[in-house]
């Protein structure tokens, strides 16, 4: 399968971009593995004719918004996102219309139609800095992730109004089970994604985006980490720091030891091969929506560049 994928990507001038929450074998075959921001940055820069986006639907849409002339393929179109689903575009537009004069900041985990009614898009890597790039008295609507929004409000002293959305994976981490793990591994650092609920964030030694968590594990002098984000990222953490130990934080109400995003895990090597072979399923974005959605996405990329991210 790997040889066949390698042959196809060469023949078709295709690039394979994968999120850290993909299975290890997809991460290993990808040209680039990164978080949501890195995927958008690579998509914006690639000279490939085809982008095979191994992640979830909104990530493919973001690539298509940035590269309307390229073919953007997804191994499985059913790979959605509960957080994006928690924010229907019509309801979001209606909410925003009730606050004239407010700046609308949307997390990248949204549909293209939500991005079309947004002033600037953010990811977990740049959200804090982009919010802080606005004057302190700016009235801001932030959606859809209320946990990330609350976290940024607490860090910055802002009072952004928040959409009531969340990621079912990150909300599922159990504080009690994390505390139990900390008793078993007293030397371990608890590292957490800001999509998690506040009590989990409060007991954490470090909070950051997927890429920031990875960087922390590389740079930290600690040898053990309790990882409160989707467990796929542990694959790269182990590759980068083979001498360190990574303990996945478990979800609530489950006997499973780790927490996986069922949408992300829909993608397989075989589906990746088939999508490259057949050039389908393809991600499409309506031209009128794309025209509006590209502005806040480009604005995010420009701000990230200025901020050195």
Binding positions for ligand 13P, rule: CB under 6 A: 35-36, 109, 123-125, 167, 195, 209-210
Q: How many CB atoms lie within 10 A of CB 305?
A: 10
Q: Closest CB to ligand 13P among 205 and 279? A: 205
DSSP-assigned letter for residue 145: B
Judging by beta carbons within 10 Å of its beta carbon (0-12, 13-18, 19+), is residue 33 exposed, middle or buried? buried
Question: Contact at 8 Å (CB) between 52 and 75?
Answer: yes
Chosen from ligand 13P, ligand SF4, none, partner binding at 177 (C-beta under 5 to 8 Å by type): none
Rounded least distance, CB 53 to ligand SF4, Å: 12
- Render the burial of 195-230: b for 16+ CB within 10 Å, e for the rest: bbbeebbeebebbbbbbbbbebbeeeebeebbbbbb
Task: Note whether 169 binds ligand SF4 by CB under 6 A.
Answer: yes
Q: Closest CB to ligand SF4 among 168 and 271? A: 168
Element (H, E) at 294: helix 287-306
Q: Give the x-and-dash track for 96-115 against ligand SF4 (CB under 6 A).
A: -------------x------
Chosen from ligand SF4, ligand 13P, none, partner binding at 124 (C-beta under 5 to 8 Å by type): ligand 13P
Kindly tell me which residue out of 8, 50, 51, 56 binds ligand SF4, with binding defined by CB under 6 A: 56
CA dist 118 and 195 (Å) reads 20
Please name which of 87, 58, 81, 255 lies closest in space to residue 169, comparing C-alpha atoms: 81
Kindly tell me which residue out of 41, 46, 82, 106 binds ligand SF4, with binding defined by CB under 6 A: 82
Chosen from ligand SF4, ligand 13P, none, partner binding at 35 (C-beta under 5 to 8 Å by type): ligand 13P
Rounded least distance, CB 137 to ligand SF4, Å: 31
Q: Closest CB to ligand 13P among 8 and 38? A: 38
CA dist 205 and 267 (Å) reads 32
Interacting span for ligand SF4 (CB under 6 A) from 79-87, 132-140, 212-220, 288-296: 79-87
Q: What share of the chain is helix, strand, coil (3-state, %, to 5)?
A: 45, 15, 40
Sites of contact with ligand SF4 (CB under 6 A): 56, 81-83, 109, 167-170, 230, 261, 263-264
């Amino acid at each position: 399968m790997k040889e066949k994928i390698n042959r196809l990507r060469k023949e078709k001038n295709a690039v394979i971009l994968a999120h850290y929450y993909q299975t290890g074998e997809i991460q290993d075959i990808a040209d680039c593995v990164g978080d949501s921001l890195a995927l958008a940055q690579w998509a914006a820069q690639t000279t490939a004719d085809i982008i095979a986006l191994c992640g979830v639907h909104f990530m493919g849409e973001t690539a298509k918004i940035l590269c309307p002339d390229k073919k953007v393929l997804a191994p499985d179109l059913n790979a959605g996102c509960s957080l994006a689903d928690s924010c229907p575009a019509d309801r979001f537009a209606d909410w925003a219309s009730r606050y004239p004069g407010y700046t609308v900041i949307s997390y990248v985990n949204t549909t293209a139609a939500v991005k079309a009614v947004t002033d600037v898009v953010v990811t977990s890597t740049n959200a804090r800095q982009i919010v802080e790039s606005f004057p302190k008295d700016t009235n801001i609507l932030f959606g859809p992730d209320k946990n990330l929004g609350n976290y940024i409000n607490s860090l910055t002293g802002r009072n952004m109004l928040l959409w009531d959305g969340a990621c079912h994976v990150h909300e599922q981490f159990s504080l009690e089970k994390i505390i139990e793990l900390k008793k078993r591994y007293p030397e371990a650092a608890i590292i957490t994604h800001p999509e998690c609920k506040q009590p989990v964030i409060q007991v954490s030694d470090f909070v950051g985006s997927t890429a920031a968590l990875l960087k922390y594990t590389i740079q930290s002098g600690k040898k053990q980490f309790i990882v409160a984000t989707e467990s796929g990222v542990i694959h790269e953490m182990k590759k980068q720091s083979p001498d360190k130990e990574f303990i996945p934080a478990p979800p609530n109400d489950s006997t499973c030891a780790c927490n996986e995003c069922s949408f992300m895990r829909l993608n397989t090597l075989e589906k990746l091969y088939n999508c490259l072979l057949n050039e389908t399923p393809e991600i499409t974005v309506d031209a009128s929506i794309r025209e509006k959605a590209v502005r806040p996405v480009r604005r995010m990329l420009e701000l990230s560049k200025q901020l050195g991210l």
